[in-house]
Amino acid sequence: MPEPNQPGIERPAALAPRGPSPPFYRLVALFEWCSKKKLELRRRYLASWFDNWRNFVGPDLYPVMRLLLPQKDRERATYGFKEATLAKAFISSFGMSERSPDGQSLIHWKRPEENTQKAVGDFPSVLFQVINARSSVMQGTLTIEQVNNLLDDLSSSFRVSGKALIDRVFKTFAQECTANEIRWIVRIILKDLNIGMKENTVFGVFHPDATDLYNSCSNLQKICYDLHDPKHRLNASDKCVTLFQPFQPMLCGRTGATAESVKLMLADKNDKGFIMEEKLDGERIQLHKRGNEFFLCSRHIGKDYTYLYGNSYDTGSLIPYIQDAFHPMLQDLVLDGEMMVWDPEVEKYLPFGNLKTSALDKTPGPGRPHPCFKIFDVLYLKLKGAKNPTILTERTLAVRLGALKDEITGPNGKRTRLFREIPGRLEFALQRIGKTQKDVEAFLQEVVEERGEGLVLKRHLSPYVLGGRDNTQWVKVKPEYMDDMGESVDVIVLAGEYGRGRRGGRISSLICGVRAEHLREDANEATYQTFCRVGTGLNFEEYDWINKKPWKKLNKNKFPDWMSVSPIGTDDKGDVYLLPEDSFILSVKAASINSTEQYGCGQTLRFPRCKGIRHDLTVDDCLTKAKGMFIAFAPARMRLNHHVCGFSPAKKRKTIVQKRAIVSSAHKGADLEDIEKQSSLFEDMKFFVTAGSVRHPSHSLVPLFISRRIHENGGTYSQLKSTEGAYIIYGGIDDTLPVVNIKKKGEQDIIKAEWIQDSIAAGTVLPLAKRFFHYATEQRQSDLDYLSGETTSMDVDDEGEPTEDEDEEDAKPSKFLSAHRASSSKRALIDDDEDDDSELPNDVTSLEWILAGRNSYDDTKDSWNTEVKYEDVGDFGDGSATESEADEDDYDFIDGHDAQSQNLIQGGAGRGSPETVGDNNGDLEMGEDSAAHTYDPDRLFRHLVFYLDSPKNAETHGMGVSAKPGVREAAEKEFARIERLICENGGIVTSNLAEGKLTHVVLFKRDITRRVALMRMTSIPKRRHLVLTSFVSGCVDEECLLDEDAFAP
């Protein structure tokens, strides 16, 4: 069934254009400048461009906004084109042959070729280089309106399969646009402009209320029409949830250690408890009801799924079955929840990939899998007879959950609930009340026993922040296993090593790497650092595929320039290697990430095991070194391994103290783990953070600390020091090799980490004075900011902005990196980047549009602050705004009727908590000893410890055994065979469930009645894998360790 078109909004007559649509190349000039310039200039250019549009064309900026933010354009939700189809379309429109060198360059745009195209991995750039020599168009003739019309045709042609229309559109592009304009049109079609400006930046320049309005309606067209006047401000009611308008939902923060998450939930003195909710593996869906009409959509640009689930009680795969779920007095509502697939035959939820198939399935029968909507929040209510609806987003979570359990008096005088569960169709998400870490662990145990994937913890005083992602309000918690750090990593295969014995003559071990910075002068060639060695997890078929790759003999005295190996280690040197373009991605899981000198990136995986080959990923998708650092040093990982970086637990604490010593005075003594997201201070700014000397452990930890501070304040940290516009940050003292190389080239500044800290403390990006530089280029040394020496302090308000009584001219230098550039003439702005190779506008008018205008945008004023509003929500030090709402009396809030909600904080609903076994007496590492780091390919189960759930062992532990005829005998025979396989392949079998190094519990398929009991008894200090006996047999047959999930009982 095709997806419906999004209904458009009729443009108000007052917004009709007063002048002609500008040429498209004028917008391209803005793209070029914004993609090359720094943040403070991008915002000014964009504001000036908007002003000129309003002056010469009219107040309606929707034609521009949908090109600036193509990913937010619901009117053109999809084009149906990816790089492969675009390549063929342009090959045809330019009269090329697919077999020609240029045609092959487009079709295989990810594959580098010798002595041909320099651009690799970026299709628009490859396309530009191919067609630039073929195009005879010197200046484009299409207007912005015409480009929009052609893109509309392209989008509609996809829906009606109009090949003739597609050909006409692409031929028009080829005949009327320059190669550079086509490059930007392709970026728009692919919905990725890559100009260094996020939607919040564009919205903030467009109108101070644009972000809030978008979060409430997800409609770019509505924003442009309702906020066409920059001086008109919306009322609070205009930014609320509205019926049949898709809003941006509140999201969970990053996963942390359980103890850290609980600490965040109870950080406020008014927090008496928190909500624990089962994390669901479905699709986030919002359900709107207006009378007997329904609207359902996803979180992504409000994609309409009403056609799947039904718009009334007569249509769809869901709505006809939930009519009895709503009280007759319930007129209108908006629910937030998760759409799952329930299979009544096996009585369990199916994986997410089955959702659309089940929703479209019209096969009759009660036993067919079908959608089930799980409710976890309510945001809007209106009862029949009420004058006004009740908007619940500003209410606390406790109040909102209470509303879901409300009872009201109906026409017959009886009190009944507003919502009633329909099993398998509409249900409440499983929730509990938590007050301690033990509560979380107990509920997590219960969820895992029911084959769930984890929990979401929510503060009971938290409001519902549209578009918010605040890790102090909602956080995720996932289970941890003895041999699994909680998440897998995607790494690139760099080299291979031939096996020995029965594995001889074939590649059996793979040396994998992570992507690092560009070290070669050719910026298109990425550098990869060796990271780990994987020798198990793949089957015969996969190894056969790997051995057929074009391997090259590796000269261990001269490694390829793009491969960085350990200067002293031997673990990361193989016999053969693959070129990056011939390589592939492996998904690898491991027990932890540890520091080491044996691999090029300074880290490696402990007990890595391959989960599979990622045929859906390219080498560009591999793990970066910074991401590996984040995983290694995240609190949850630190708790899994007491020897990260070679420090004992006591030394870890000492290291953290050393790390705090570099923090500015505004933050000294603060607990780093408690620092919440502060601002959008560094939004759209890119940073490359380089490590200090390994001789100074505290310096080597600076990148982790500074990267986190940058991220918490809106910045982006890059792994490429050559990234355009990136600031290189260094927290060390001695000159490391990367620092020496940067100085030697003399092309890039090296800024001290102190600048980051002092800027955060001041609440504004400070000018780059001399004291902030570890190294300054000759060009930088002539800059006014550099020469100005120490900067003067300034007063800032609670939001980090200059105070209102501060002189405007005094505020600007502290907000922008260069006061000189901020106030310079147009010529000075052009001269600011003399070595900038970006295209300048080819006409004076385009330059005027970018550099001239009323300059109505002034980001030193609060009204134009582009900082995301939700970052200010959830201050633990002030509970006054929500404290009163926690009172029980506050539940009687529904307009028109009396309502008595159940106080969820005083008594949670749902299944009881399971028993817990003992306390966590500390973590034990898997493996024979602390020096063990890898599996042995010749002894498959070495370092693994198995408990066999045999009848004899079960009786020893006081557990019942199946009395079914023949089951005991079959189980004993099977376990005898399994024990022999384990021992023959280097594993250890124990009958002690309390064994600290236990990794696997093996069950017999015909008797899994002890599954839950075994899960509970082996969950401390970390969980063990429960598998069927077929796991052991399968591993031996395939000669590799298989994924346990496929063998779960």
Tokens matching residue 101: 């060198």
- Ramachandran angles phi, psi of 821, nearest 5°: -70, -35
Tokens matching residue 362: 């019209």
Please check whether residue 241 is in contact with residue 466, taking contact to mean a CB–CB distance below 8 angstroms.
yes
Integer Cα distance of 541 and 961 in angstroms: 39
Integer Cα distance of 517 and 712 in angstroms: 22
Integer Cα distance of 801 and 207 in angstroms: 18
Q: Provide the CB-side half-sphere exposure for 825 (13 A, CA).
A: 1
Integer Cα distance of 857 and 207 in angstroms: 9
Q: Which residues are registered as beta bridge partners of 348?
A: 343
Integer Cα distance of 303 and 939 in angstroms: 51
Please check whether residue 374 is in contact with residue 427, taking contact to mean a CB–CB distance below 8 angstroms.
yes
H or E, element range at 612: strand 609-613
Q: Which pairs with CB-CB distance under 8 Å and at least 24 residues apart come from 988-992?
A: 988/941, 988/944, 988/945, 988/946, 989/945, 989/946, 989/947, 989/948, 990/945, 990/946, 990/947, 991/947, 991/948, 991/953, 991/956, 992/947
**How many other CB atoms are found less than 10 A from the CB of residue 266?**
18
- Ramachandran angles phi, psi of 542, nearest 5°: -70, -40
Please check whether residue 727 is in contact with residue 686, taking contact to mean a CB–CB distance below 8 angstroms.
yes
Positive or negative: CA dihedral 589, 594, 599, 600: positive
195-224 burial, b if ≥16 CB within 10 A, otherwise e?
A: bbbbbbbbbbbbbbbbbbbbbbbbbbbbbb
**How many other CB atoms are found less than 10 A from the CB of residue 165?**
16
**How many other CB atoms are found less than 10 A from the CB of residue 972?**
14
User: Strand 716-717 to strand 686-690: parallel, antiparallel, or no bridges (unpaired)?
Assistant: parallel
Active site residue 37: no
**Three-class DSSP labels, 395-442:** CCHHHHHHHHCCEEECCCCCEEECECCECCCEEECCEEEECCHHHHHH
Cα–Cα distances in angstroms (integers) from residue 676 to residues 301, 383, 461, 471, 637, in the given order = 27, 39, 17, 8, 20
- Ramachandran angles phi, psi of 332, nearest 5°: -130, 150
Which residue has 């100009």 as its token pair? Answer: 195
Integer Cα distance of 201 and 195 in angstroms: 11
Q: Please give the full DSSP string across 547-586, using - where no structure is assigned.
A: HTS--EE--TTS--TTEE--SS-STT--SEE--GGG--EE
Q: Cα angle at 827 between 826 and 830, to 5 degrees?
A: 90
Integer Cα distance of 163 and 260 in angstroms: 56
Integer Cα distance of 766 and 812 in angstroms: 10
In the three-class reduction of DSSP (H, G, I as helix; E, B as strand; rest coil), residue 293 is classed as strand
Q: Which of 279, 303, 611, 752 is catalytic?
A: 279
Which sequence positions are flagged as catalytic? 279
